[in-house]
């Protein structure tokens, strides 16, 4: 060390004598630090943390190293070790690792002086510093880590902070709402077109579940759980094989339930379990997947994943699988977060309360779910959406999807392949052709045909406009009878059918907005 460096070190010692003295008064670190890895559901240990500057932490198929060798100041190194040990023992390892990354950025940009000043600064000084300098100068992750650091100082009676100052720390302004801007703007919400394509894809894989490849089947199950129930990838990765329950059902087939846990909770006690039910139409996906997994037949098994898991894949692979599948099916890459936001938005649109949406998402505070209600359309908009007359919601199919057949070709086909039916007592015929044949199809004619990939609509606009006119009163009837609840199976099926018919009409060059906006 040069004479200049020694002079700087001596000056720092004199200047921050109070802060260094407070750090020296901290109790010794324990000989072992234990933390819970919720993925493995077992306790892990960091041995001799005071002597080691490399702490290996494992959680959710991830292994990381928290490196304290980067901290040159001995006193600050002791302070940060105490802080992160406190986090590991009271919070999740994921939160601890994120805070480690944030404090290391603060140390890199502001040096040891920032932490020593933080210990010496009194609470009223922190109020001024937070409002005038710190809050606007850092990212949200660093602001969150700073509040946790101040909370740590309160519990450890470090500097002028005491346990009675915890409410003051909580009151420091901190805005997480930017995370929900995509909900308010609609960018994070799936369009009706995307939802229709995802549903059609899940129906398609379900029909051929026994013949689907291991990869196709696993990806369909991941998409189903994320789309229907809004589970985060970390929640999906933690599902155990035994958490999937298959019960004998009635004539409609078996019932499939699964047990999952709340995620992103600060305390282990908040991670309560909940049971969810797979939509009856998609249960064959999970029955077949469960059968194959029991026999050891699996699409991919990550080295870091446990054999006891329902999806023995690394969390990163689950994230990419959901993104790859949505892009393949819809042409737009969607994340599990987008699917989660969309699932919550569907609930809000259907008339669920703020508390019900918060419970569905596993939020600790109902206020977190208010953004979905700000983005929710009015009753009139919902009805227009159901009647396929709103220009915002009606374009759900592209021209590429509406392959058509002319009348001469249709009449020349076998009668079994000419689509017709009497849905809800309304006779409808001659709307197009079916590649499979109606006698081999298990779905309702007309109502299911428009959203089926085997359907070839007739290239006659008048026919499809007539279908719209006949089915709109039926949708209105279901809407009135359900008091605006647009989640009943019959209502959803009619809504999607009309949206697709409307898209076909538009693709054929007609202006089918019509009358009757409400």
DSSP 8-class letter at 417: G
Q: Give CA angle at 149 (143, 151), nearest 5°.
A: 105
Q: Does CATH place domain 181-376 in 3.30.230.80?
A: no
**Mean pLDDT in order along the chain per 10 residues (518 residues):** 51 73 92 86 88 90 90 93 93 90 92 92 90 80 89 93 91 66 77 88 92 94 93 89 86 84 58 84 93 87 82 90 94 92 84 80 70 61 50 35 62 73 67 71 68 75 79 70 57 72 72 40
The pLDDT assigned to 149 comes to: 94
Contact between residue 457 and residue 432 where contact means Cβ atoms under 8 Å apart: yes
Alpha-helix runs per DSSP H in 350-488: 354-361, 370-374, 379-386, 407-411, 461-481
The answer for residues whose C-beta is within 8 angstroms of residue 32's C-beta and 6 or more apart is 45, 46, 47, 48, 49
3-state secondary structure 168-221: HHHHCCCCCHHHHHHHHHCCCCCCHHHHHHHHHHHHHHHHCHHHCCHHHHHHHH
Token pair, residue 504, equals: 């076909």
Contact between residue 169 and residue 143 where contact means Cβ atoms under 8 Å apart: no
Give the residue range(s) of CATH 1.10.443.10 domains in the chain. 181-376
Element of type H or E holding 264: none
Q: Coil, strand or helix: which one is 412?
A: coil
The answer for residues whose C-beta is within 8 angstroms of residue 495's C-beta and 6 or more apart is 385, 386, 388, 475, 486
Between helices 192-207 and 283-294, what is the axis angle to 10°?
50
The answer for residues whose C-beta is within 8 angstroms of residue 168's C-beta and 6 or more apart is 123, 127
The pLDDT assigned to 186 comes to: 75
CA atoms of 479 and 297, how far apart (whole Å): 45
Element of type H or E holding 320: helix 315-330
The pLDDT assigned to 518 comes to: 38
The pLDDT assigned to 262 comes to: 75
CA atoms of 505 and 467, how far apart (whole Å): 10
Unique residue bearing structure tokens 């019509």: 514
């Amino acid at each position: 060390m040069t004479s200049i460096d020694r002079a700087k070190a001596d000056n720092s010692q004199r200047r921050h004598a109070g802060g260094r003295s407070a750090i020296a008064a901290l109790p010794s670190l324990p000989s072992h630090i234990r933390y819970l890895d919720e993925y493995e559901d077992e306790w892990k240990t960091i041995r001799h943390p005071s002597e080691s500057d490399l702490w290996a932490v494992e959680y959710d198929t991830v292994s990381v190293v928290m490196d304290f060798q980067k901290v040159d100041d001995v006193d600050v190194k002791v302070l940060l070790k105490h802080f992160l040990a406190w986090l590991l023992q009271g919070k999740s390892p994921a939160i601890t690792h994120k805070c480690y990354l944030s404090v290391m950025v603060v140390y890199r940009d502001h040096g040891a002086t920032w932490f020593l000043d933080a210990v010496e600064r009194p609470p009223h000084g922190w109020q001024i510093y937070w409002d005038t300098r710190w809050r606007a100068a850092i990212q949200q992750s660093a602001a969150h880590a700073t509040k946790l650091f101040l909370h740590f100082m309160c519990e450890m009676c470090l500097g002028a902070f005491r346990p009675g100052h915890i409410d003051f720390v909580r009151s420091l302004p901190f805005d997480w709402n930017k995370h929900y801007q995509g909900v308010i703007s609609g960018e994070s919400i799936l369009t009706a077109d995307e939802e229709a394509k995802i549903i059609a894809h899940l129906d398609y894989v379900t029909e051929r579940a026994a013949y689907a490849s291991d990869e196709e089947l696993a990806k369909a199950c991941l998409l189903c759980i994320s789309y229907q129930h809004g589970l985060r990838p970390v929640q999906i990765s933690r599902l155990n094989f035994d958490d999937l329950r298959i019960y004998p059902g009635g004539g409609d087939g078996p019932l499939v339930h699964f047990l999952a846990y709340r995620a992103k909770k600060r305390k282990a006690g908040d991670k309560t379990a909940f049971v969810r039910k797979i939509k009856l139409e998609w249960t064959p996906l999970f029955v077949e997947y469960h059968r194959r997994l029991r026999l050891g037949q699996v699409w991919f098994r990550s080295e870091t994943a446990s054999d006891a898991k329902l999806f023995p894949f690394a969390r990163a692979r689950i994230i990419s699988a959901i993104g790859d599948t949505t892009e393949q099916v819809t042409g737009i890459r969607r994340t599990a977060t987008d699917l989660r936001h969309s699932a919550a938005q569907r609930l809000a649109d259907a008339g669920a309360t703020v508390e019900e949406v918060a419970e569905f998402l596993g939020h600790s505070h109902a206020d977190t779910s208010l953004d979905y209600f700000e983005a929710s359309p009015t009753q009139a908009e919902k009805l227009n959406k159901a009647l396929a007359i709103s220009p915002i919601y009606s374009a759900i199919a592209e021209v590429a999807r509406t392959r058509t057949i002319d009348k001469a070709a249709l009449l020349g086909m076998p009668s079994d392949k000419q689509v017709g039916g009497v849905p809800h007592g309304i006779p409808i015929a001659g709307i197009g052709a079916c590649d499979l044949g109606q006698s081999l199809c298990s779905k309702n004619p007309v109502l299911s045909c428009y959203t089926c990939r085997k359907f070839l609509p007739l290239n006659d606009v008048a026919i499809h406009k007539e279908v719209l006119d006949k089915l709109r009163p039926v949708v209105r009837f279901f809407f009135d009878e359900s008091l605006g609840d647009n989640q009943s199976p019959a209502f959803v099926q009619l809504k999607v059918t009309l949206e697709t018919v409307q898209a076909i009409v538009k693709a054929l060059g007609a202006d089918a907005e019509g009358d009757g906006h409400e």
